[in-house]
Amino acid sequence: MSWLRAGACVLALGLCVPAAAPAQTPASNRAWNALRAGQHEDAAGAFALAISATPNDPTLHFGAGMAEYLLGRATVAQHSLERALALAPQFTAASLLLGDILYRGSDLDTALRVYEAALAYAPADQMLNARIEALRREAAVHRDFFQSQGSHFTVLFEGPSDEALARRAIEILESAYFRVGAALATFPERVVTVVLYTREQFRDITRSPQWAAGAYDGRIRIPVQGVDHDSQELERVLTHEFTHALVQSIAPRGVPTWLNEGLAVLFEPTGEAWTDMQLSNPGPRLPIERLARSFERLSRDDARLAYAQSAGLVRAMLNHGGPTAVVAILQDLAAGESFPSALERRMFVPYDTFVADLQNTVQLLR
């Protein structure tokens, strides 16, 4: 199950089907209109004003939680959603979003309890039942896993034979925590969970394409075959997926796939050298419109090209504006701004000019 796609469904559900009619006040109308328009920062402020006037309206707390979640402030969002459910336990949309936040924060058990409690009020809800089924399946896989704990990471693994690998994973991740976190001026709010799977478990849980070497969906997930005796590959994959965790903490939605994946590739230990090698081939290129969408349906060769092009695009951004500008763009995306608008504001170059230069000068795009 794709939790990112499910999160988008929660957004639509919450805006269209509130648990009860929201209060019709100027402040609440401004808040909902801002949220619908993607103006997440404005929505958060408007919901705060509306709640001060009508503190017992669960729909306002839900809207506030959604705005905070879309801004990357998961802990604040969680508190707002818990308040909404305290006022209206039957508020299924709030339960779905709260469970998603808990899951992304690696609290699978509490997420499952939230969903199961909601099921009492909405036993036929298809999304709720799908979430419960997926979490129960994952919990069954993890039930007998061992655990290794670091300062900022918890690693789950199947048996004693993987204990040394789990310790090595923590060492790699703690190093990446400071290196990548300092570069993006961002550090996770909570301990990040990493799960080491067999190849079969990894495919069953993540539904990833055959070429995938790892996944991040609130937890970092790695199939250990192929990396258990290759420390460099383990470092590459873990650093890549940890970067996704940081990007998601800045901008939970709205990030073009190429920006997300390009950052992850460049922070790999040999990411720049790999990118140069892949792009040295003057063969075909993918258009930026294709790179903005998920890579899941690409062939192995096209996926390799897509990752390399993505890294090249992000490197061009870093060369032009530096990491501060890239992080500011991510923050703008979280606030609801479009990517072209955010790039123009932070990099002082028209979006069309930026794309045309990459097409004509370095032939990075088709």
pLDDT in tens, 117-157: 999 999 999 999 999 998 998 888 888 899 898 899 999 99
228: left (phi over 0), alpha (psi -120 to 50) or beta: alpha
Pick the closest to residue 280 from 269, 272, 292, 288 (CA basis): 272
Q: CATH 1.25.40.10 in the chain, residues?
A: 3-142
Q: What tokens appear for 362 in the block?
A: 């370095």
Q: How confident is the model at residue 52 (pLDDT cuts 50, 70, 90)?
A: very high
In the chain, pLDDT over 90 holds for what percent of residues? Answer: 66
pTM score: 0.82
| Domain 146-242, second-level architecture | 3-Layer(aba) Sandwich (3.40)
Strands across the sheet with 220-223, in order?
A: 146-149, 153-157, 192-197, 220-223, 215-216
**CA-to-CA distance for 74 and 62, rounded, in angstroms?**
13
Res 59 pLDDT > 70: yes
Decide: helix, strand or coil at residue 106.
Answer: coil
Which pLDDT score, from 0 to 100, does residue 214 have?
Answer: 92
Distance from the Cα of residue 148 to its chain's centroid: 24
Specify whether the CB–CB gap between 310 and 288 falls below 8 A. no
Topology given in CATH for the domain delimited by 3-142: 1.25.40
The per-residue pLDDT for 226 is 56
Residues whose CB falls within 8 Å of the CB of residue 307, separated by 6 or more in sequence, listed in order: 261, 262, 265, 278, 295
Helix (H) or strand (E) holding 155: strand 153-157
Beta bridge partners of 147: 156
Q: What is the pLDDT of residue 230?
A: 66
SS3 192: strand
**Mean per-residue pLDDT, 55-79:** 94
> Helices 257-266 and 271-279 meet at what angle, rounded to 10?
120
Residues 319-330, mean pLDDT to the nearest whole number = 94
Let me know if 344 is exposed, middle or buried by CB neighbors in 10 A (0-12, 13-18, 19+).
Answer: middle
pLDDT band at 9 (very low <50, low <70, confident <90, very high): very low
DSSP assignment letter at 121: T
Per 3-state DSSP, what percentage of the chain is helix, strand, and coil (rounded to 5)?
65, 5, 30
Angle, CA 133 vertex, CA 222 and CA 205 arms, to 5°? 15
Please report, as a single letter, which amino acid is at residue 289: E
CA distance 311 to 295: 14
The mean predicted confidence, pLDDT, of the chain is: 88
**Least confident residue range of 25-29, 61-65, 224-228, 250-254:** 224-228
Tell me the C-alpha distance between 217 and 201, whole Å: 15
Question: What's the whole-number mean pLDDT along residues 55-77?
Answer: 93
Give the other-Cβ count within 10 Å of 24's Cβ: 8
Q: What is the pLDDT of residue 142?
A: 85
Higher pLDDT residue, 21 or 201? 201
Residue 7 has pLDDT above 80, yes or no: no
Which residues belong to CATH 3.40.30.160 in the chain?
146-242
By DSSP bridging, strand 215-216 and strand 192-197 are unpaired
Which residues are CB-contacts of 43 (< 8 A; sequence separation ≥ 6)? Answer: 31, 32, 34, 35, 63, 67
What length is written for the chain?
Answer: 366
Residue 107 above 60 pLDDT? yes
* Mean pLDDT on 60-87: 94
Q: How far is CA 267 from CA 124, 175, 366, in A?
A: 44, 12, 25
Task: Write out pLDDT tens, residues 196-235.
Answer: 998 888 888 888 898 999 999 889 999 986 565 568 889 9
The DSSP annotation for 201-256 comes to HHHHHH---TT---EESSSEEEE-TTTTT-HHHHHHHHHHHHHHHHHHHH-SS---
Please, which residues have CB within 8 angstroms of residue 162's CB and are 6 or more apart in sequence?
146, 196, 224, 228
